[in-house]
Amino acid sequence: MRRSLRFYFALFFAKGTAMVLKLIGRKGTSMPGSWAIILCPDFLGRMPRPKTVVGITGTNGKTTVANMVEDVLEDCGYDFVCNRSGTNVNTGVASALIANSTFFGKPKKDLAIFELDERSSPKILPYLKPDLLLCTNIFRDSYKRNAHMEFILDVLERYIPDRTRLILNADDLLCSSLKPQNRRVFFGIDRMPEDGEECQNIVQDIRVCPQCGARLEWEFVRYHHIGKAHCPCCEFQSPEADYRVTSTHPEQGKMTVKYGGEERDYPMPNSSTINVYNSLSAVAFLSEFGLSPDQIAASMEKLSISESRYKEEEAGGKKVVLHLAKGQNPIACSRAFENIRNYPGRKAVILFLDDYFDAAHSVENTSWYYDTDFEFLNDAGIPQIVAAGARHWDVCVRLLMAGIPESKIAHVEENEKAASLLNPAQVDSVFILYDVYTIGLANRVKEQVKAVLKDSGGENGKEDGGQNED
């Protein structure tokens, strides 16, 4: 697209906005891009593109993977523009490009790495035309924004350019079906001891063959529709992974990846299955980008999962774990619940599931609770669950529907009272689950929980963990 007067007006206005925001001490990470797109709706198409543009999209894990990829490339000496401190929609991408351009918009850096919101693909991908695009997975997400997986799949199918090289999840039959004519490689994890033949989750979004409609036969199901399947009536099947995790070694923080007939170990900052996928997809992406296995492995040694997503601390000889559970995202929350169930020892769980904005101004659509596997919390190793927030009664009903005894449930409207409902003598660790927008609350409550745990040293536990307030 040619640069028009309108484009230059939008560019200069956006740069002026960024300058003013900087002068008054505000970050303004998406405002310059917002103005640019308001003034010139096809701004991204007219903005000169860095020589190489790579992207990371998908329902879950894209932020973690983008952070890993950026950290490794930075460690390897690459200079690039990215939207890490901004938003992953079109305005965030535009802001990043504007901030890293000369007065007339020419890119200062030759490489751009963007985390891309999959729902925003129509407003980004046709303009940005990524050379390389990683799709982590396709799942149900916010009903409001993403509707359902078929809708998101159709959006990506329509807007991913034909020439974009893809890195796709072989274990996700939805993700792996994207753009079959594009050049692509797949990543996957070999069958693990805990994988089964039947889905243990409420949601499994592909059950029949998309080509002939026959019921799929699963060689194994890991969770939801993640696994390996084939159609008994036609040739449809999960693709073979090019990058395969053949084994994991959590005690050493390593995973063994097979690619091109050779096996080698790579670091994995966290051993939960979703984080093995995150690490593996980062390895595949970096390898396809052109880094050597040695470069990738050496730089990944220095990585850790962002503390805004997962953090463990100790107090009174017990653990306090902050665990992100993305609100209105049934799959992310189900994964978090399963992680808690599988965590060793006896655990208490504090749930802050309210959407921050809905809790303040509306009544949240809580339908997503019923696509979420609260049933994982119905476990002998979890003697206490505290639900706090505007929808505490709705969470209580969902927990009861999951078969959790009333005596294990405590709930309260005031978030800040959650810690006071704990019975610390019953547990070895306390999990605090929070949404992206409630990390401040989670951190405040974490300090209260730590104080409760410190005060409780040696106290005998009560058998009944349940209390509640109206």
Partner 1 sequence: MKIEILFPEFCNLFGDMSNMWYLRKCLPEAEFVETPFEAEPAFASEDVGLIYLGPMTERTQERVIEKLRPLSDRIYELIEKGACFLFTGNALEILGESIENEDGSKISGLGIFDLRAKRDMMHRHNSTFLGRFDGEEVMGFKSQFTMAYTAPGYYPFLQVTKGTGLNKKLKTEGIRYKNFVGTYLLGPILILNPCLTKRLLSDLGVPNTRLAFDSEINAAYRKRLKDFHAKT
Judged by the rule CB under 8 A, the positions of this chain that interact with partner 1 are: 122, 140, 143-145, 147-148, 150-151, 202-203, 207-208, 213, 215, 330, 360-363, 365-371, 390-391, 393-394, 396-397, 400-401, 470
CA distance 83 to 93: 6
Considering the complex, state which of residue 122 and residue 196 has its C-beta at the smaller distance from partner 1: 122
In the complex, what is the shortest distance from the CB of residue 302 to partner 1, in angstroms, rounded to a whole number?
Answer: 41
Q: Name the 3-class secondary structure at 200.
A: coil
Among positive and negative, which fits the CA dihedral 246, 250, 251, 255?
positive
Q: Is 231 annotated as a binding residue?
A: yes
Considering the complex, state which of residue 211 and residue 365 has its C-beta at the smaller distance from partner 1: 365
Considering the complex, state which of residue 361 and residue 462 has its C-beta at the smaller distance from partner 1: 361
- Asked if 254 and 268 count as a contact pair (C-beta separation under 8 A), the reply is yes
Which residues, 6+ apart, have CB-to-CB distance to 373 below 8 Å? 200, 201, 202, 330, 333, 334, 337, 338
CA distance 47 to 117: 19
Strand partners, 217: 230
DSSP 113-127: EEE--GGGHHHHHHH
In the complex, what is the shortest distance from the CB of residue 1 to partner 1, in angstroms, rounded to a whole number?
Answer: 22
In the complex, what is the shortest distance from the CB of residue 470 to partner 1, in angstroms, rounded to a whole number?
Answer: 8
Strand partners, 431: 321, 349
Which residues, 6+ apart, have CB-to-CB distance to 60 below 8 Å? 136, 137, 139, 274, 326, 329, 331, 332, 335
Considering the complex, state which of residue 281 and residue 328 has its C-beta at the smaller distance from partner 1: 328
In the complex, what is the shortest distance from the CB of residue 310 to partner 1, in angstroms, rounded to a whole number?
Answer: 26
CA distance 388 to 419: 10
Considering the complex, state which of residue 316 and residue 327 has its C-beta at the smaller distance from partner 1: 327
CA distance 313 to 322: 8
Considering the complex, state which of residue 211 and residue 367 has its C-beta at the smaller distance from partner 1: 367
In the complex, what is the shortest distance from the CB of residue 316 to partner 1, in angstroms, rounded to a whole number?
Answer: 33
In the complex, what is the shortest distance from the CB of residue 362 to partner 1, in angstroms, rounded to a whole number?
Answer: 6
Q: Is 40 annotated as a binding residue?
A: no
Residue ranges of the binding site:
209, 212, 231, 234
Residue ranges of the binding site for Zn(2+):
209, 212, 231, 234
